[in-house]
A and B are shown apart, each in its own frame.
Chain A
Amino acid sequence: MSTVATSQIKLTPERSRTSVRSRLQDALPKIVLAPSFAITIVFVYGFILWTIYLSFTNSKTFPSYVITGSRAYQRLWGWTFDTDPPSSWYTSITNMGIFGFLYILICLALGLFLAILLDQKIRGEGVLRPIYLYPMALSFIVTGVAWKWFLDPGLGLEQTLHQWGWTSFHFDWIKNKDFVIYTVVIAGVWQASGFIMAMFLAGLRGIDGEIMKAAQIDGATTFQLYRRIVIPLLRPIFLSAFIVLAHLAIKSYDLVVALTSGGPGGSAWLPSNFMYEYTFKRNEMAVGSASAVIMLMTIVAIIVPYLYSELREKPR
């Protein structure tokens, strides 16, 4: 031991020793990050490229590697305007629009509202907060099945109210081709709004009390206080919440399957359902891949400008 130590002192001059160590220190984060970096490169970006490639082939059951042109995209483009009767693709993208818009909007509004109410220094907040947050701990499958039973006219809400004597009550959205997508919104909002509430609550707690007091002294009403001061200060939370909700909305596949099993005549499909159906059940891998690419492009088109406008350095 001591020989090693002495030899080190003798043989390595001070400067080079520190440089070895510092080089190691420099490299350490890279070494630690390398495996996850490699995995991400291959399994996320590699497969994105692979999917794009497949969408230009004529892959059916199995991937084929001969590029045959953009027939898959042409078919999807044709289906986009097949409105009467609606093609599965048309149904999927309009549902995505309805679901995405309402889901994100209601979750943000409800989450903010609940957070503001909970922030009024009320008693029992410690009990209420987890109650609202808890649905997020459930998987979409559980949420879907529970709401399926609850919304089923022969089983859940309608049946119960009929037994209690309110026989004119009628709520069969889940069986109705035109309204089934709104039941997906209901179940989705129920699950996610508590989580969004927790995010906003954290944001509200981070606001400096002095600002609030100053505003109150200046005579601001509670509404003005929230409208002019609190909500603008929560802007970063809106960004995070939006991104969380947007990706939850885009990848909602299991909720639709568990809640509606596709809906009457496939009327509850989202693009992810379309992608899975065509790739794995109909053996039209090229069409499935093309729809996945379109989903990706849509997300990119929405998220990138938003991120850019929110995250760039603001000129001061």
Chain B
Amino acid sequence: MLRKLLIGTALATSFAFSAHAADVKEVQMLHWWTSGGEAAALNVLKGDLAKEGYAWKDVPVAGGGGDAAMTALKAMVAAGNYPTASQMLGYTVLDYAAAGVMGDLTETAKKEGWDKSVPAALQKFSVYEGKWVAAPVNVHSVNWLWINKAVMDKIGGTEPKTFDDFVALLDKAKAAGVIPLALGGQNWQEATMFDSVVLSTGGPEFYKKAFNDLDDASLKSDTMKKSFDNLAKLVTYVDPNFSGRDWNLATAMVIKGDALVQVMGDWAKGEFHAAKKTPGTDFLCYRFPGTDGSVIYNSDMFGMFNVPDDRKAAQVALATATLSKSFQSAFNVVKGSVPARTDVPDTDFDACGKKGIADLKAANEGGTLFGSLAQGYGAPPAVANAYKDVVSKFVHGQIKTSDEAVTELVKAIDDAK
């Protein structure tokens, strides 16, 4: 009886797999860009593809956020049912490439000159063993300060150039009765801020050694200890309610003028735009003090899967359209990030965007473009999350001293490696 049942089940599943209606003129896309601005930005890409005769099909994902999408993708790939492409982050691309399920876009890349136009640091994630497996869509950078200009004028502050300047500025805000620093007490936000603190405290070389190469000596150095001390200093300037707050609520505090400054990636700019604020007059964007000239980045990528031959043409069209200059400009103007190729004109961008593009170009040429550890571009997810644990436990007091924090950081990263 049981055996018969099993045979029946096997037959039923094999039917399900063979009933695969292939449609060449269609792009299947898994992504979690569903909010207003992002969806609008993606419509540009849909339009570009429609002009070439390719239909767009979203792969539905229940529940928002990247986690749900990644779980869905894992299930699809495990079932052998690859989408044309999927929005992916950092090491996920390399994991899937190592599993041998990614396609090969090297020919297209050569024809379009991606090797030259896409920053080398990004190619670490979009090229696997010499083959292009993903098309980067944008470059976000995390070492930014977002400041409410009205509050800044009121307290008579100027752009902080060093960490000490920054602390002095926060003191001024505190004296004026404004919440100096808007922070959301979730581990990724705390760690994202700590990325900048480390770069500011130890300089570019140190950041790279510690957070990209995971060099043991750097991780347990006094500079790292100093960085934790600096983080502790910053945390004294947050309001008592910060724990658990979402990042966009922290941004809203700056927009409304309840708080002076937020340390956050450039996706925060989208919130300012949505509130109809203009850079320069309503808000200011500065690099985190002491990090000028370096860029800590993360990037959204479209991972390209090894689809059947009759779907490859659509995939090439998608990849080409994604890295086309017109889409890169149109999309990133809306998203708040900067284009993933350095040869896109900055005419349509606002002041912060223009600065971002120039900084990216300079950092790329000067070798100071580093992956953000908090955002999963410095090390694989196991290490990145172990790092976030330590930073968050330090901020919330489970780890009490910077000595202990350094010990814990080394231990956690070793354990996760």
> Does A pair with B?
yes
Report chain A residues within 8 Å CB of B6.
38
Q: Which of the segments B215-223, B290-298, B393-401 contacts the partner chain? A: B393-401
Query: Would you call B78 an interface residue if the criterion is a C-beta within 8 Å of the partner chain's C-beta atoms?
Result: yes
Cα of A72 to Cα of B138 in the assembled complex, Å:
37
> Which single member of B2, B96, B389, B397 contacts A266 (CB below 8 Å)?
B389
Residue of B nearest to A63 (CB): B78
Query: Would you call A260 an interface residue if the criterion is a C-beta within 8 Å of the partner chain's C-beta atoms?
Result: yes
Query: Would you call A262 an interface residue if the criterion is a C-beta within 8 Å of the partner chain's C-beta atoms?
Result: yes
B381 touching A282, Cβ below 8 Å: yes
> Assuming A34-B1, A85-B408, A280-B71, is B185 touching A264 (CB within 8 A)?
yes
Least CB distance from B384 to A in Å reads 8
Query: Would you call A62 an interface residue if the criterion is a C-beta within 8 Å of the partner chain's C-beta atoms?
Result: yes
B392 touching A265, Cβ below 8 Å: yes
Chain B contact residues (Cβ within 8 angstroms of A): what range?
35 or more
> Assuming A38-B9, A283-B380, is B1 touching A177 (CB within 8 A)?
no
Query: Would you call B62 an interface residue if the criterion is a C-beta within 8 Å of the partner chain's C-beta atoms?
Result: no
Query: Would you call A97 an interface residue if the criterion is a C-beta within 8 Å of the partner chain's C-beta atoms?
Result: no
Report chain A residues within 8 Å CB of B398.
85-86, 177, 265, 267
Report chain B residues within 8 Å CB of A152.
241
> Which single member of B382, B393, B397, B404 contacts A282 (CB below 8 Å)?
B382
Report chain A residues within 8 Å CB of B381.
281-283
> Assuming A85-B404, A282-B381, is B244 touching A174 (CB within 8 A)?
yes
> Assuming A175-B240, A267-B396, is B187 touching A281 (CB within 8 A)?
no
Query: Would you call A162 an interface residue if the criterion is a C-beta within 8 Å of the partner chain's C-beta atoms?
Result: no
Cα of A174 to Cα of B386 in the assembled complex, Å:
23
Report chain B residues within 8 Å CB of A75.
415
B396 touching A284, Cβ below 8 Å: no
A264 touching B243, Cβ below 8 Å: yes
Least CB distance from A291 to B in Å reads 14
The A150-164 residues at the B interface (CB cut-off 8 A) are 152-154
Query: Would you call A261 an interface residue if the criterion is a C-beta within 8 Å of the partner chain's C-beta atoms?
Result: yes
Report chain A residues within 8 Å CB of B395.
264-265
Q: Tell me the number of A-to-B contacts counted with CB atoms below 8 Å.
A: 91
Cα of A103 to Cα of B318 in the assembled complex, Å:
52
Report chain B residues within 8 Å CB of A86.
393, 398
Residue of B nearest to A259 (CB): B244
Query: Would you call B52 an interface residue if the criterion is a C-beta within 8 Å of the partner chain's C-beta atoms?
Result: no
> Residue-by-residue, is A85-123 near B (CB-CB < 8 Å gives 1, otherwise 0)?
110100000000000000000000000000000000000
A265 touching B1, Cβ below 8 Å: no
Residue of B nearest to A283 (CB): B381
Main secondary structure of the interface of B (DSSP, over half): helix
A88 touching B241, Cβ below 8 Å: no
> Residue-by-residue, is B5-25 near A (CB-CB < 8 Å gives 1, otherwise 0)?
110010000000000000000
> Residue-by-residue, is A112-154 near B (CB-CB < 8 Å gives 1, otherwise 0)?
0000000000000000000000000000000000000000111
Report chain B residues within 8 Å CB of A34.
1, 5
Query: Would you call B186 an interface residue if the criterion is a C-beta within 8 Å of the partner chain's C-beta atoms?
Result: yes
> Residue-by-residue, is B323-345 near A (CB-CB < 8 Å gives 1, otherwise 0)?
00000000000000000000000
Residue of B nearest to A263 (CB): B244
Least CB distance from B30 to A in Å reads 15
Report chain A residues within 8 Å CB of B385.
277, 281-282
B244 touching A85, Cβ below 8 Å: no
The B402-417 residues at the A interface (CB cut-off 8 A) are 404, 408, 415-416
Which of A30, A61, A62, A280 is the most central at the interface, judged by chain B CB atoms within 10 Å of its CB?
Answer: A61
Residue of A nearest to B407 (CB): A85
Residue of A nearest to B185 (CB): A264
Residue of B nearest to A154 (CB): B241
A266 touching B244, Cβ below 8 Å: no
Please name 7 further chain A to chain B contacts, defined as beta carbons within 8 Å, in addition to the given A85-B404, A262-B187, A282-B382, sorted by A numbering.
Answer: A154-B241, A262-B186, A280-B74, A281-B67, A281-B381, A282-B416, A283-B382
Can you list 27 A-B contacts with CB-CB less than 8 angstroms, sorted by A residue number?
A30-B1, A34-B1, A34-B5, A38-B2, A61-B74, A61-B95, A61-B96, A61-B99, A62-B78, A62-B95, A86-B398, A152-B241, A153-B241, A172-B241, A174-B244, A175-B241, A177-B398, A261-B186, A261-B244, A264-B244, A264-B395, A265-B389, A265-B396, A265-B397, A265-B398, A266-B393, A282-B385
